[in-house]
């Protein structure tokens, strides 16, 4: 079951609340391959900015297995898993190209790495720092990977310098 042959497909498991690590550990212990893409986000909590890894798809985990083998019924009873996403009583496969593209954009820990070349006029989202979750437009890129963006702050377009690894393209 652990082999990477062509009969294995990716499926989506819906997780119980706050059970990602438990479900992932138990599924891998049973021989299933799992994948959880993460993104680094910043949130403000009581006057502090906290940066942490968050699931790109909260509440879901990609699981790879061969549906013809019948092992998928074990997934529904795995601790931390609510159910496999299914249609018509059978688990629905996720397009393998989608998961392959996600895997290609992640590092060894599953974090999304955006190395897309930025150009002036491109819309980006700030992922960390005081302006986390703001959408901005790239104005220029400095040689030291600092990106100058224009963002709407209190109704006025303001020019702000942001480190290149604190933004991602939309």
The reported pLDDT for the residue numbered 48 is 81
| Entry pTM | 0.66
Residue ranges and CATH numbers for the domains of the chain are 9-104 (3.30.70.940), 123-169 (2.30.30.30)
Rg of the chain taking only CA atoms, in angstroms = 20
Q: What is the DSSP string of 27-55?
A: HHHTT-EEE--EEEEEEEETTEEEEEEEE
The reported pLDDT for the residue numbered 2 is 43
The reported pLDDT for the residue numbered 26 is 96
- Residue 136 above 90 pLDDT? yes
Average confidence score pLDDT of the chain: 86
Q: Which residue has the higher pLDDT, 155 or 41?
A: 155
Predicted confidence band at 1 (pLDDT cuts at 50, 70, 90)?
very low
Predicted confidence band at 52 (pLDDT cuts at 50, 70, 90)?
confident
What backbone phi and psi angles, to 5 degrees, belong to 164? Answer: -60, -30
Reading phi first (left if > 0) and then psi (alpha if -120 to 50, else beta), residue 149 is in: beta
Burial 94-108 (b: 16+ CB within 10 A, else e): beeeebeebeeebee
- Residue 47 above 90 pLDDT? no
The reported pLDDT for the residue numbered 22 is 96
What backbone phi and psi angles, to 5 degrees, belong to 36? Answer: -135, 100
């Amino acid at each position: 079951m652990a082999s990477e042959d062509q009969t294995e497909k990716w499926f989506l498991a819906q997780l119980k609340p706050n059970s990602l690590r438990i479900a992932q550990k138990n599924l891998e212990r049973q021989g299933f391959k799992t994948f959880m893409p993460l993104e680094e986000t910043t949130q403000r909590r009581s006057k502090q900015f906290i940066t942490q890894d968050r699931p790109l798809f909260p509440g879901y985990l990609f699981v790879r297995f061969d549906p013809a083998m019948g092992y998928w019924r074990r997934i529904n009873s795995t601790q931390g898993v609510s159910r496999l996403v299914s249609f018509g009583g059978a688990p629905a496969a996720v397009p393998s190209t989608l998961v392959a593209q996600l895997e290609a954009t992640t590092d060894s820990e599953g974090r999304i790495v955006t190395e897309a070349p930025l150009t002036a006029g491109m819309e980006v989202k700030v992922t960390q720092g005081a302006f986390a979750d703001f959408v901005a437009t790239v104005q220029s890129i400095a040689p030291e990977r600092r990106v100058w963006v224009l963002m709407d702050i209190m109704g006025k377009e303001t020019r702000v310098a942001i480190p290149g690894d604190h933004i991602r393209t939309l």
